[in-house]
A and B are shown apart, each in its own frame.
Chain A
Amino acid sequence: MQSHALMQLVQASKGFRSGDGGARLEILKGASLSLSAGESVAIVGPSGSGKSTILNLLGTLDQPDEGQVLFEGLDLGTLDPAALAHFRSQKVGFIFQSHHLLPQCSVLENVLVPTLAERSDAGARAEDRARSLLKRVGLHERLSHRPGQLSGGERQRVAVVRALINEPRLLLADEPTGALDRASASELAQLLQDLKREEKVTLVVVTHAPDLARQMDRILELRDGQILPTTLPQSA
């Protein structure tokens, strides 16, 4: 186990009872994972293998049944909900397959929404950063537009910027290109890599898309509740 790891998942197990009160399904069975600062990791695996569960555990949206989630050596399981919320706000950025932008807010406002988790006012600094990031992703002319007025790729770029607004250490992306066409998906993959570099964040991407996975530093596969290194065949 590396001592300089940014985030670790240690022997984590997680199971769910099926909706109708049926048998318990074990998704993760003592899975472990270590993430270094600044690296990018892709997690692949078949549907239902627990990819999003890993993301939720890393993002503290969920807790493991067994095992630990450590951030810079700190056991996140010891934190109360408020501290966990603070952790998410300051250290983690989320990108979802469905962008989940607030339809009532403009592009700029959507980006600033995370800043309100800790303060009642977004503040000028955050707004400057939002503008700069949006400019960086090519949306500087769409600041006042509503999500409904953007294309799918544009919406996802807003979601990426929103995830970065609080300068997180960890960026978690759940099927970020799942709802995009090929060109937009490729564009977004490149953007994520660039931003990872520029923002010096650790990027974890859960994806079915091999092209996206291959652009990451490491590729891990989730199989039988375990996280295993893997490689993907080169596309034709």
Chain B
Amino acid sequence: MTFRTLILRSLRHHWRIHLGVLLGAAIGSAILIGALVVGDSVRGSLRQGGLERLGPFHLALSSGDRFYRPELFNPLEANHTLAGLLSSHPQVDPSQVRLTGMPVSLVHLPGTLARQDGAARANRIHVYGMSSSAIFRQPPAPEDARLEIVRSALWDQRANPPLGRVLLNETLAAQLKAREGDDLILRLHKPSALSRDAVISPREDQSVALRLKVHAVMSGAEGGNLSLRSSQIPPLNAFVRQEDLDTLLHLQGRVNLTLIPPLAHREPVSPLARFWRDIGRRIDQMRGLTSAHQPALETLVPDDVQASMLQASLGRLWDLSDAQLQLRSTPTTPPQLELISSRIFLEDAAVLAATRPQAQTNQSPGVAPGDSRPVTNAVGILTYLVNELKSGDRSAPYSMVTAAGAPWVPADLQTNEVVVNEWLAEDLGLRPGSELEMSYYLLDTGSQLTERTQRFRVRSVVPLQGLHADRTLMPEFPGLSKAESTRDWDAGFKLVHTVRDKDEAYWKQYRGTPKAFISLAAGQALWGNRFGRLTALRYPFPSTAATNAFQDLVQSTVLSNLDPSEVGLRFETVRQQALQAADQGQDFGQLFIGFSFFLIFSALVLMSMLFRFGAEERQVEIGVLLSLGFRPARVRRILLGEALALSSVGALIGLAGSMLYSKAMLWALGTLWKDAVGTSSLAFHLDPLTLLIGVPGSILVCVGSIAWALRREAQRPARELLSGQAVEQGGRTVSTRSRISLWVAVGALTGAAALLAAALKGNEAGRAPLFFGAGALLLTGGLGALSLCLNKAAQNSGRRLTRLSLMLRGLGRRRSRSLAAIALLASGSFLVFAIGANRLNAPRNPELRSAGTGGFQLLAESSLPIVRDPNSREGQEALGLDPTLLKATSIVPFRVKAGDDASCLNLNRAQQPRLLGVNPELLASRGSFSFAAAASGLAIEQGWRLLTPSNGSSDDAVPAIGDAASMQWALHLKLGETLPFTDEQGRRFNIRLVASLNNSILQGSLVVDERELARRFPTESGAQYFLIDTPAAGKDQVSAHLSKGLQDYGFESVSTVDRLNQFNGVQNTYLNTFQLLGGLGVILGSVGLGLVLLRNALERRGEIAVQLALGYSPSLIKRLLLTEHLILLAGGLALGVGAATLAVAPQLLGAAQEVPLPLLGLILVGSAGCGLLSTVFASNAALRGRLLDALRPE
């Protein structure tokens, strides 16, 4: 006989009651481990989704509207050249690595796709132009080699669409209901080197269309869901032959996206290392960290190391055209070397690189070593189109004016002086000293067309020859340079000034030869813009150097001085980002532990209760052990030993149950709760770590709960225990218990009152948490008061005996049991009810500016940016809209810097959230949206004006406003915190969160001042996000009109209420989940109540039999028993619901949200019904059988 034998004997003997304990432990463990497995599965599915999106590629270079040669990375494909091309890295020797696959270059553009029959349309699609099928992955091969040949041939045919054919991914095909052979119309934004925001950017011909036939539909596993964005929602992808796009968009074979596979070390792997790696790989597969196309058992170079090696190597691989730069000799005498950009304006970084001596000077023939003069002698040129040159009543329309230094203008030319050519002097009658007015549009005011006029004094008149007759001073403005006549101009704006015959003649003879020259400083002050401050850099050829050698010197200087990331060529570690986004995303493990918290709690309470009942039944046995000399601690150890054994077996059963639970939850997430995850492709994943943590964790929790329940067991004297009269007489004295209860009740209720007072005094924003706190304290205080009442009831009050007091006496007799049942029900109903009232429904008054809709009726997004002002009559006409129909409509446009969706619709953590740029005044003047809070030190009253940099931030960080929920749950950021971003020139900058909005349609994005967005991302042109203010009555008509009129832009509008409901749907789905699981917890709680009743009744069978003998009718006894326990049920529910009502009073009384009272009523009735049923069932069970036997002595 050993201690363990004793435990085993006890387990065996009391197996009936232990069965219930085992069940409780199994349920608790199943839910606990299951919740963690749900977390693993969601995380694993997100990881796998991310890996599936990217296929074998780890790095991406995505340059937006900057196109580069696809050959840029060709040298990397030959692995033997890697060592020479790759930059060395402290951790990696370039000669010891190899690329595991081929880099793939693509054209990536936004577009829209519609069925030719007009039956369906998809906006905001991703169009990929591909030169090979390398981005696709052939599904696993069959065993039969002969079949493999056929399969490969079929695959090649399927993955390589011929010209005029398109491959769709499954999501896009489903949206368009497209099948192989269907005709579709693809519409693309025509890439423009010059931003569409530039005044002189052509307005016509912004988009082009292409008719395509569906070739095949590619699944996600085949690579159809290629995307660089971290989201579990599959993108809308169309893949066409690159040649199709080339023809359409004149891209000259250039690309803007390259995907790079990982580098692997060449060294051989030992068998032991292979073995361990194989195990590691299998574990990674379980966790969703590897995909089928992962190179097997190789040591990969870390992605960030590879990215930095490649980034450093770009300087050796690229040429000027990859930076949209070009060097050419001017046709002037003497000729000069000119650096120009296809983007028209030379970016500041390029100018700096081109005018700075080379860090490591390459010696060129005729250029002395270390001689930097040839480069630093460069002269900046800025030529711009002015609307009118005017002197007195004479004027010349639409002329080029060049801003430059000597020799075009005298070196001492003042900023208010101008040099004019003889043609202009003659035309306007100018002489030195004459006044000349120059009117021009501010360049980057886009569709606003802001005109300015500047006065100059004529310094001199120059002949139209030599330097001053250089037509190449005019940059190749896209709508002008190729025009044979001024009538062919597409200047980007309406020509309002009359073009005279002489002007036409000038154009024909001299083209864009500038008619006037001003100093560079003056020109840059007038026309400098976010795209650049020069249109050319000119280098005088050194007399000693050969032309080619000098050109080489300048080229190598520019290329070595310029960091490719400054012109948008930057490698992103996309695979790492995808995994990071998945890992940092919504933790469904925690979420489901939270959702299931009450269920787990109920199961544990139930289990502990059953174990304690068992222990109480064994009080004589415990008494015997004590009388035999066992110390109380040792007796408790026997009981805890049994608890450990039961918890361990329960956890193992729970482990099996957890698989079922997690699969059920995954099924529900993919179907019933799909709104919360936006995808049905959640697969089961299991992290071995979860088992290592989950099983012992469950055992610990179960044993802990039982230990808590048994903390006072075996403390009573053996005599009492042996007499069988000791139940509920141990522990603290009644007066101590009463005192504690009193303190808890008074303390908590006082706290609740204080919070309530603070809430009523404070502002509306901070009211909700105070009310919730008051509700929670009311619940605690209520439980304290009930405990006090039960104590009082248990004491001899001396008052007249009534049936009610008899029942209360019965409740008080098993005070802790009664209190546990009340607490379980009260807290369950509190949680379910309070959470239920937090459901977000459509705002009652969506037209209110303070509502989550901002008072806007419609929200729209477009695939292609709209540069024209949709609010002005001109803009509307140019866009083909009807100004009459839009008379009462005003639109707030937002610039967009594409990024990750940071709304609750994206389960991944947004790495770089989408930025929306707005003119803050447009929202501030309307008072749109309501602010939840502002960062410390900032006045919330300033609202949208906090976006103005000087208001919102003391440093260089860009102030941003976001939806409170997005900030908290998707970005995990607090107000005042910053989020690092990289601008278009590869410079790091921070976004600072200055204020948050209450539940709004702006979820998922951060809003910044549009000027800041334009400054950081100059090439992001036009607006792609719109809030539309229009009378509610005509909103459908306006929506239809805008969607139809702007369909070429992929314009799509939705009701703001619908959008808000879509966001609310996620939270509501979470709440549904919580309520369902919480509801199950309440049911389990009511089962617990039933058990309490059953146990009470069984213990009191003798008492009941006496009552029967004393003349109590069976129905009266049943009624008394039922009433006694219904008091518990009603008390628990009333306390829970009462406290919850207080907790959610602001939501119940507030105007902002509808409260789902019917649903809450249903929950209440359901909980009460469950409790009632289990009470009736238990009381019936207790009264069954021969009660009279209980009257006989044992």
Contact = CB atoms under 8 A, between A and B. Distances in A.
B532 interface: no
Interface string A159-173: 000100010000000
A112 to B, nearest CB: 5
Best-buried of A105, A166, A178 by chain B (most CB within 10 Å)? A105
Given A100-B1102, A116-B801, A121-B802, A81 B1110 contact: no
A18 interface: no
B725 A103 contact: yes
A81 B1193 contact: no
Interface in A150-206: 162, 166, 174, 178-179
Contact of A85 (B803, B1113, B1192): B1113
B1113 A82 contact: yes
B1112 A117 contact: yes
A100 B1103 contact: yes
B1111 A85 contact: yes
Interface stretch (B276-284, B664-672, B806-814): B806-814
Nearest to B799: A109
B1102 A98 contact: yes
A43 B1193 CA distance: 18
Given A104-B809, A178-B1193, A89 B1106 contact: no
A121 B824 CA distance: 32
A122 B799 CA distance: 11
A148 B724 CA distance: 11
A59 B1109 contact: yes
A179 B806 contact: no
A162 B725 contact: no
A112 B1107 CA distance: 12
Nearest to B1192: A52
A124 B800 CA distance: 8
A84 B1114 CA distance: 10
Nearest to A123: B800
A105 B800 contact: no
A106 B1102 CA distance: 17
* Max count, chain A CB within 10 A of own CB: residue among B809, B1105, B1106: B1106
Contacts of B1114: 81, 85
Given A98-B1191, A106-B796, A88 B803 contact: no
A104 B813 contact: yes
Contacts of A82: 1113, 1115
A13 interface: no
B1103 A166 contact: no
Contact of A122 (B800, B1113, B1192, B1193): B800
Contacts of B419: none
Interface in A16-55: 52
A122 B796 contact: no
A144 B1110 contact: no
Given A61-B1188, A62-B1188, A113-B1107, A81 B1113 contact: yes
A117 B1191 contact: no
B1111 A100 contact: no
Nearest to B1113: A85
Contact of B802 (A89, A104, A116, A144): A116
A235 interface: no
Interface in B783-807: 794, 796, 798, 800-804, 806
B848 interface: no
A212 interface: no
B1108 interface: yes
Nearest to A109: B801
Nearest to A162: B1110
A86 interface: yes
Interface in A62-116: 62, 81-82, 84-90, 92, 94, 96-98, 100, 102-106, 108-109, 112-116
A115 B1111 CA distance: 9
B544 to A, nearest CB: 115
B617 to A, nearest CB: 17
Given A85-B1116, A100-B1103, A100-B1105, A118 B1193 contact: no
A104 B818 CA distance: 14
Interface string B1108-1150: 1111111110000000000000000000000000000000000
B704 to A, nearest CB: 31
A144 B801 CA distance: 12
Contact of A88 (B802, B1102, B1111, B1188): B1111
Contact of A94 (B800, B812, B1102, B1110): B1110
A211 interface: no
A120 interface: yes
Given A122-B800, A146-B796, A88 B1191 contact: no
B1103 A102 contact: yes
Contact of A103 (B800, B804, B813, B1107): B813
B802 A61 contact: no
A179 B813 CA distance: 25
A105 B809 contact: yes
Nearest to B725: A148
Contacts of A52: 1192
Contacts of B1191: 96, 98, 100, 174
Nearest to A172: B1109
A127 B806 contact: no
A103 B1114 CA distance: 21
Given A81-B1114, A121-B800, A113 B806 contact: yes
Contacts of B725: 103, 148
Given A85-B1113, A88-B1109, A120 B1193 contact: no
Interface string B411-443: 000000000000000000000000000000000
Contact of B801 (A96, A113, A146, A148): A113
B1102 A104 contact: no
A166 B1112 CA distance: 13
B1110 A122 contact: no
B798 A144 contact: yes
Nearest to A159: B1106
Contacts of B796: 106, 109, 144, 146
B1108 A61 contact: yes
A56 interface: yes
A32 to B, nearest CB: 23
Contact of A112 (B798, B801, B1106): B801
Contacts of B1113: 81-82, 84-86, 117
A114 B1113 CA distance: 11
Contacts of A124: 800
A105 B806 CA distance: 8
B1096 to A, nearest CB: 11
Nearest to B808: A104
A90 B803 contact: no
A164 B346 CA distance: 113
A88 B1193 contact: no
Residue of A96, A104, A120 most packed against chain B (CB within 10 A): A104
Nearest to A62: B1188
Contact of A89 (B729, B809, B810, B1111): B1111
A131 B1001 CA distance: 76
From B794, B806, B813, residue with most partner A Cβ within 10 Å: B806
A212 B729 CA distance: 36
A87 B808 CA distance: 27
A120 B801 CA distance: 9
Contacts of A90: 1111
Given A97-B1193, A100-B1191, A109-B801, A117 B1111 contact: yes
Contact of A61 (B809, B1109, B1115): B1109
Contacts of A62: 1188
9 contacts: A81-B1115, A85-B1108, A94-B1109, A100-B1103, A104-B810, A105-B801, A109-B801, A120-B803, A127-B800
Given A61-B1188, A104-B810, 9 more contacts: A85-B1113, A86-B1111, A88-B1108, A103-B813, A104-B813, A105-B809, A116-B1112, A144-B798, A148-B725
Chain A to chain B: the 7 pairs with minimum beta-carbon distance, closest first:
A89-B1111, A85-B1113, A104-B813, A88-B1111, A117-B1111, A114-B1110, A100-B1106
